[in-house]
Every structure is written in structure tokens, then in C-alpha cells.
Amino acid sequence: MTHLAAASSLREASYPDIASEHARLASLIEIIETKLREDNANYLIVADHIRELMQLAREHFEHEEVIMEREQYSQKDYHIQNHQHLLRSLADYVALCEKGVLNIEADAGKNIRGWFSFHTRTVDEEFREWLANKGPHGH
Ligand SMILES: [Fe+2]
Ligand SMILES: [Fe+2]
């Protein structure tokens, strides 16, 4: 298990499906970072990996959003906007990779990791705490 994934699972031990999805996303981000660090990084391959990350992220976000809807989470709209923004950022990275824009190399790995860890540490964490405080009997 990667460092990033381990940190996620420790924090989210009571939140098993979401935590394992975060771990999968973290692993894929590590693969993308490795590809980006390689000499002669093949940007079309990187674009494929980012597309795969987008697909996983989309499924994960839908999963969270179903729980938010079911639990009538008070910050649902804000959280969903955040998800949409994150998916748009990934789509921008895919477009840059497909154009072979090389200056993505310096920042993309860091930015994609930041994209993931900032979201999980802030809005996902707030949601997890809200759910934990709500308890099984609600409100
Ligand atoms: Fe999440
Ligand atoms: Fe989220």
C-alpha cells in the first residue's frame, strides 16, 4: 500500500468503500506521476491513464453523491460542485497531454496529487465527520 493510500485508509477506517476507492485513485495517481517522471514520457499514454483516472473518479464521486443524497447532507451542493471542478481539471490535463504540451511535465504530477489529496483532506473529510456525528439514527 502506498503512503498516500495508507494515510487515506487510516483516516477513513469507518468508511470502508469510500476509503478503498480513495486508495485506488491514489495508486493510479502514483502510476501517472511515475510516467511523468520518465525520460521521454509518452504523453498519449499519460493521457490514457488520466482518462482512466477520470472514469474512476467519476464513479467514486457518484458513489459519494448517492450517500450525500440519501443522508441529506447539508453541504451536498458545494461538494458536488467541487467534484465537477475536479473532473474539468482532469479533462484539461488530458487535452494538454494530447497536444503534447511539454510544460505539463513539471507540474502535472504534483497538481494531480494535490487535486486528490486536497479534496480528500477537506471536503471529503468534512463529509465523513458529518456522517460520523450524525450516527446511525440520524439527525
Ligand atoms: Fe472522495
Ligand atoms: Fe468528494
What is the predicted pLDDT for the residue at 49? 93
User: Is residue 100 in some structural domain?
Assistant: yes
pLDDT tens-digit map of 54-85: 999 999 999 999 999 999 999 999 999 999 99
Q: Which pTM was predicted?
A: 0.81
Query: Could you tell me the maximum CA-CA distance found in the chain, to the nearest angstrom?
Result: 55
Cβ neighbours, 10 Å, residue 112: 23
Domain count, the chain: 1
User: Is residue 66 in some structural domain?
Assistant: yes
Report CA(46)–ligand 1 centroid distance (Å).
22
What is the predicted pLDDT for the residue at 13? 42
User: Is residue 3 in some structural domain?
Assistant: no
User: Is residue 139 in some structural domain?
Assistant: no
| Better-scored residue on pLDDT, 86 or 16 | 86
- Parent domain of 130: 15-134
How many Å apart are CA 74 and CA 77, to the nearest integer? 8
Report CA(38)–ligand 2 centroid distance (Å).
30
CATH code: domain of residue 81? 1.20.120.50
How many Å apart are CA 16 and CA 21, to the nearest integer? 9
Report CA(47)–ligand 2 centroid distance (Å).
23
Q: Which of 58, 54, 63, 85 lies closest to 15 in space, CA to CA?
A: 63
pLDDT tens-digit map of 102-127: 555 455 556 788 888 899 999 999 99
User: Is residue 1 in some structural domain?
Assistant: no
User: Is residue 8 in some structural domain?
Assistant: no
